[in-house]
Structure formats: C-alpha cells, structure tokens
Structure 1
C-alpha cells in the first residue's frame, strides 16, 4: 500500500501557521519530525512512480529535494522564523536547479498544490525560452491551451513584464506568453484530496500532465552551450 499523507501532518502545518515562533516549534519538534518524515516518505514513492516517465526523477532522493523549513529572514520584513509548508522540487540537477521541474507544496488549511514549469530562469535561458515560444507558438498553445490541461491547471501563472520584452513587437501573436518571466501551471489540492488514499496517484497524474510543458521549456535551455 502506498504512503499516504497523514492528518497529523496537515494539522502540524496548520498549527505552525498560527504559532510561528521558535518557542512553539521547539515544544512541537517531535510533531515536526514525524510530519517531515511522512512527507519525505511520500516523496520517495512519488519519485519511484515518476521514474517510469520522467528521467529527471531517477537517482534522486526525497530528503534531498525537500526545501528547508527555516526561513532566511536577514533581508526580509517578514521575520517569521519558519515556512508554514513543506515544499519539494523535482528537476534535473535537484531542488536548486534552474531547469523546468515539478513542485509539490503541502500546507494546512486547503493551501496545498502541485505545479510545474519554469521559475525565474537566468537571463540567457529566459531569452532562449522566449525565442522557442516565438518560433513554435502553435506547439506551445497545443500544450497550455488544451482543454484537458486547462481543466487541471487553469491559465498559466507567473510574473510578467508590463512592457514588451526587448526584441519583440507588441503585435507579435505570441506576445501574451512572451511577457512571462516564469511559466507555471498550478493545480490546487484541497485537504480532502491530500488525505485520500489515492493521493499519490493524483500527484503522479498531475506530473504526467505537466511533462509536455516541462519538455517544451527544457529544449531551448539544453541547447545553450551545445
């Protein structure tokens, strides 16, 4: 039987969101450790399933893909010491990769989601992806505007330029997609879905649906430096 996300894991994350202090966290360290282990075990099984269709999942370990719960507050006005969620990124090169990948966000209060795509790539890679979308707009639209894709993920999300990117005309038919600085597709995961026995299959099916988008975004990035 596959690993399920425990009610206690979501309850811990919901409580942490309301009690985000070092004192509270210290008192509930055992709950944190148990919740983190539950999430890590789930990631291990997810990786096993994804290896069948996604080479980037091969050779990865769940614990290495998990982002730290401790926030870096040095340059932030928000001084809460902890993130109120668990997050992991599956991509070629691991969780710090600049490449397209899959992100699983686990949080209390119905705030979980699974996402894919490309987040804030460096300038050279950003330019290459925009060029690929410009050259192959029909192929990109076939992915992100397909009814089945839209039903799962809705419209693409991500930070966008307010102006036209350098080198492109505002009349370009692809301009709506060229303004993006990140191309993200996100599927919300209500608590009742997260706690289902078949949650692993829900996430696997979402990542399979995201793979064509990631493959499209990956191609021009791989060409850099070749």
Structure 2
C-alpha cells in the first residue's frame, strides 16, 4: 500500500526541489493535490496504528500534516515550498509528554520523537531529575534495543555545564542537552516497501520507554510525588 501512496509523492518532491517557485507549483497544483491525498492516507494509517499503542491528542492523520507552504518572513531561504511531507502526533494529557514526527523526503526520510524546545521550567526539572537519578535514563540509552533502533540520544547541547550544576558532575554529559531527541532514518527503498506505514508505527512504539521515563520525571518531584 505504501508504494502506491508514496512513490508519486517522492516523484513530485524531486521535481519540486528543482522547481521551487510559485509559477511551477501553480502549473502542477493538480499533481500536488493528487499526491497529497496519498500522503493523507499514509498519515491516517499512522494515526490508526499509533492510537492502538498510545493515547494521541491529534485528531486524525490529516490533522497531523504540516503545510507545504513555507513561512519565509524571517528566513534567509525564500523558496516558497517545503521539499518534504511531514507531520506530528501529540501525546494526550499532561501526564504523557513528547511527540512523534515523521518526515518524508527523497534521500532523507526519518522519524523522530522527543522534546524539541522544553520550557526553562521543564528543562530544569529534567536536569535535576537526571542529576539525582541518572541510572534509569542511562539504562534506556545503553540498552541493546535503543541502540539498535535509535543509536544514541540526539539534540542540541551546551558546550559546558548548565548554570547551577557542577562541571565534574558524573551526569554532566546528559545535563548539557537542551533538546532530548531520538531518531531513525529510512532508505528510499524502505519507504517504497508495502509495509512502510507499519514500520513507522513500529518505530514509534520503540520510543515508548524513553517517552515513559521522560513523562514520569516531568510529572513528579524529586521525591516521586505528582506535580500535575
């Protein structure tokens, strides 16, 4: 099913990459609308699958999709259209933190999950919890399953220790993170496989131990008492 849905989308994106202007896009608007329907069907399949293993706030697959029209007001890159299809699913309720994102692009397809821009309050909470009890997170990151599916923790880091923490803290390597992200990339061949939608849902599922840990430390204080 995914081959039927995503092969035309990849062909369109390849052409768009070489013709990223309004004139070409308007001339090919009907093609865009056609391939978008396929991407929506793919997104609906993801929504159905992930909803069977997690509680999702995003109403449906179509609602997860990001616009192809770029906001160029504050960007040096003035090309008007994104050269990928992407979307995100938000976990439901204050007790479930984090979000799932899928990115479809020729030569650069991936899924990513985690925390892109934690608030200052949440970031301090995460760091204090890691400082006090680093082993649960290290156990997740060092597990065979995590390394197989995601490799290592990703995200922007400080070059030195964060303010209020010591440079010789045994967990300073984790405390330097400003983002907490886990990612897996797929080849174009994998994207065209009939079961690619199922494969994406599978990798979303592999994110759960990380999400469950982060949700717990963001919703309890250092004594383990609920704060939400």
| TM-score of the alignment, normalized to the shorter chain, above 0.5 | yes
| Counterpart check, 1:10 vs 2:10 | yes
Kindly state the Cα deviation for residue 51 of structure 1 after the two structures are TM-superposed: 1.6
Residues 103-182 of structure 1: pairs in structure 2 closer than 5 A: 103-108=101-106, 110-182=107-179
| Counterpart check, 1:201 vs 2:201 | no
| Counterpart check, 1:71 vs 2:70 | yes
- Extract unaligned runs of 5+ from structure 2: 222-226
Question: CA–CA distance in 2 between the matches of 1:74 and 1:85?
Answer: 19
SS in 1 for 2:168: coil
1:3 and 1:41 in contact (8 A); partners too: no
2:41 and 2:61 in contact (8 A); partners too: yes
Report Cα offsets for 1:135-179 as digits up to 9, x if no partner: 331111111221221122112111111121112111112111111
Question: CA–CA distance in 2 between the matches of 1:212 and 1:5?
Answer: 31
Cα distance change, pair 55–21 in 1 and its aligned pair in 2 (3 A):
same
Question: CA–CA distance in 1 between the matches of 2:68 and 2:90?
Answer: 20
Q: TM-score, with normalisation over the residues of structure 2?
A: 0.89
**Count of aligned pairs:** 221
2:2 and 2:192 in contact (8 A); partners too: no
Q: Report the counterpart of residue 98 of structure 2 in structure 1.
A: 100
Question: CA–CA distance in 2 between the matches of 1:170 and 1:118?
Answer: 24
Question: CA–CA distance in 2 between the matches of 1:14 and 1:136?
Answer: 47
SS in 1 for 2:56: helix
Question: CA–CA distance in 2 between the matches of 1:79 and 1:187?
Answer: 29
Q: Report the counterpart of residue 44 of structure 1 in structure 2.
A: 44
Pair member with larger Rg: 2
Report Cα offsets for 1:44-84 as digits up to 9, x if no partner: 11111112211126x62112111111111111111111111
Report Cα offsets for 1:121-143 as digits up to 9, x if no partner: 11111111222222331111111
2:2 and 2:193 in contact (8 A); partners too: no
Cα distance change, pair 4–211 in 1 and its aligned pair in 2 (3 A):
farther
Instruction: List 4+ stretches of structure 1 deviating above 3 A.
Output: 1-5, 220-225
2:131 and 2:171 in contact (8 A); partners too: yes
RMSD: 2.2
Q: Report the counterpart of residue 190 of structure 1 in structure 2.
A: 187
Question: CA–CA distance in 2 between the matches of 1:155 and 1:39?
Answer: 29
Kindly state the Cα deviation for residue 34 of structure 1 after the two structures are TM-superposed: 1.8
